[in-house]
A and B are shown apart, each in its own frame.
Chain A
């Protein structure tokens, strides 16, 4: 079951993981909005260690002002559920 629904505000986890990840540094710690649930895909951070575990992946939209402090564009990327926490 997907933990977040479209419209949910989520924060990308700020921590820098030890190994491989597909959570880009530029969104870490920032708050975005879930656009939709893409699918359940294997978590790449674990796949590289030989573990195949699927998780919901979300298209998350970040405003430029949130990411960079200025700008009016939006950046949308796909984030695995364990990359995210609820934004309060």
Chain B
């Protein structure tokens, strides 16, 4: 689904479902609120940024992150938030740039990247980034050289992706907190360099 969910028929349908579940005594409004709050209050791109900064400063952690994203998330305290999907980190290296999308809806590791931006859910982004990623990235201000291979990862299944951007040149002089502050949500999606 795309755009603002409040304006869509799906919002009314979700509310209708909630009301039926509440009427049937399967769940209460308070419980639903609690679940949503638990998902969204801790969901932030600073979580993904911490994982990236750790990977930049600790090559062993980077190796574990690429091998098993869920275990690497758990190491930094995000086990509960990343349960229920396979977390896959995709690494930007010289000449390879990764970008993520969900062409079917808006799947995305919310706990690590924060609530997804509205453009991520838009039909324009979802349909164009698989077709002409270089042009889409340029519109985000990310002009990649022709020799850079672009890999677009469609989260159409139970896999959720996080882009591991390339570290800045000054990585050696900065601590983990300073490095994490350099990582943006768009960097984790792949629509920015970092």
Contact = CB atoms under 8 A, between A and B. Distances in A.
Given A26-B103, A64-B131, A78-B159, 6 more contacts: A22-B104, A24-B104, A26-B130, A38-B159, A75-B151, A76-B152
Interface of B: 86, 103-104, 130-134, 149-159
B152 A24 contact: no
A77 interface: yes
A77 B134 contact: no
A3 B9 CA distance: 41
Interface in A1-51: 22, 24, 26, 38-39, 41
Nearest to B103: A24
Contacts, number: 59
Q: Secondary structure at chain A's binding surface: helix, strand, loop or mixed?
A: strand
B103 A78 contact: no
Nearest to B134: A73
Contacts of B132: 71
Given A68-B131, A71-B132, A76 B157 contact: no
Of B86, B130, B133, most A-chain CB atoms within 10 Å: B130
Contacts of A41: 157-158
Nearest to B147: A72
Nearest to B131: A68
21 contacts: A24-B103, A24-B154, A24-B156, A38-B157, A71-B131, A72-B150, A73-B134, A73-B150, A73-B151, A74-B151, A74-B152, A75-B130, A75-B151, A75-B152, A75-B154, A76-B152, A76-B154, A77-B156, A78-B155, A78-B156, A78-B157
Given A22-B104, A39-B86, A74 B157 contact: no
A73 B157 contact: no
A77 B130 CA distance: 11
A26 B131 CA distance: 10
Contacts of B155: 78
Given A24-B104, A38-B86, A71-B132, A57 B153 contact: no
A22 B103 contact: no
Contact of B151 (A22, A76, A78): A76
Contacts of B159: 38, 59, 78
Task: List the 3 closest A-B pairs by CB distance, nearest first.
Answer: A78-B157, A77-B154, A73-B150
